[in-house]
Amino acid sequence: MPRLFTALLSLICLIPAMTSATTLLELEDAAGGLTARLTITGDTLLVNDQGEPWPTPADQLLCTLTVTAPETTAVTMPSLTGAAFGDFTLLDQGEVEVRRTGNDLVHQRQWLVEPYNPGAYRLPGLLIRAVRGNETFELSLAQPEITVHAVAADNSAGGDILPPLAPKERSRLPLILSSLGLGLAALVIWLLRRRHKRGPRPLPPKQRALNELARAEELSGRQRIERLAYILRCYLASRFELQCLEQTYEEYAPSINNCAAIPAESRALFLAVLERCDQLKFTNSQPEPREAERLTKEIREGLAACPLAGPGDKTCGRW
């Protein structure tokens, strides 16, 4: 019984240490009324002789980008489409979460990454774009390197990195109980982190597009025309998994025209709007009076004819 009590007490003392995340890096910058902060944390980081974080290839890191901006500013957070986060391997990319703080809105996105081998890993360029009235701002965070270390068996690099001790034969029962307890604690931590990462349920693509169209009414001229084209392309990419954000009009127009899930009248309206927006953009010409209102009305008519996304529909979540 004393040994069993000791094992359970050790498990209870260990669980808080497992759930506390260690900060590996913090970056902060500000421009045009925006404040951006990138924080990189890990749950299993070791430390060296000086007590500094000691990341190894066995660690998974959580990168959190937080941008604070006035409520009147439309913010576009960076989105990574490949399998890499700079030199790191990208395991997962979360949705953008927005919450209100006073007169400001806080935008947040998270990425789960991991290194593959020891060495220097450079972070990617994270470009934040913002639009306020007729002004456009861009904010790009620095790209520092993070050194990933090998776990040295001789303990020459890390002060508290020690080789495992072989358990004694007589302590097998406490070891089994500790392993079961650690497994249960790891499962609880994984479930809590998974629930936290999911965050609030995102809006359906159609409702998101309608909300963004309403916000675009604050813009004017060519800026509003370009915003309308971006909103429509994001909707088509999220709802119908079309490559509108990576391709030019000539490349994605056939896929829109051949998408049977989009009603024929909506396809015609969407293609006409996108073609007109591209024409204004690349000819550097000014839109006609009230042309933005007409294009907005055509987009709304096309959205109204499109079916809502059902529970079984797959959306790529590119918004």
pLDDT (tens digit per residue) in 265-316: 999 999 999 999 999 888 888 899 899 999 999 999 999 999 887 665 555 5
Task: Answer yes or no: is 4 within a domain.
Answer: no
Task: Answer yes or no: is 244 within a domain.
Answer: yes
Mean pLDDT confidence for 141-153: 81
Phi, psi of 29 (to 5 degrees): -155, 160
Number of domains in the chain: 2
Judgement on whether residues 234 and 137 belong to the same structural domain of the protein: no
Position 196 confidence tier, pLDDT thresholds 50, 70, 90: low
Task: Answer yes or no: is 282 within a domain.
Answer: yes
Position 156 confidence tier, pLDDT thresholds 50, 70, 90: very low
> Where a domain ends, among 99, 132, 148?
148
Half-sphere exposure of residue 314: CA atoms within 13 angstroms, side-chain side: 2
Distance CA 24, CA 53 (A): 6
Mean pLDDT confidence for 174-181: 84
Judgement on whether residues 211 and 301 belong to the same structural domain of the protein: yes
CB 224 within 8 A of CB 232: no
Judgement on whether residues 239 and 143 belong to the same structural domain of the protein: no
For residue 210, pLDDT beyond 90: yes
Q: What's the pTM value of the predicted model, to 2 decimals?
A: 0.44
Residue 96's CATH number: 2.60.40
pLDDT of residue 8: 47
pLDDT of residue 305: 93
Q: What percent of the chain has pLDDT over 90?
A: 36
Judgement on whether residues 35 and 142 belong to the same structural domain of the protein: yes
Tokens encoding 19: 């759930």
Comparing CA positions, the residue from 226, 232, 263, 254 lying closest to residue 245 is 232
Contacts of 190 (CB under 8 A, 6+ apart): none
pLDDT of residue 309: 75
Phi, psi of 300 (to 5 degrees): -60, -40
Tokens encoding 278: 């591209």
pLDDT of residue 152: 61
Task: Answer yes or no: is 5 within a domain.
Answer: no
Domain range enclosing 86: 20-148
> Where a domain ends, among 99, 118, 148?
148
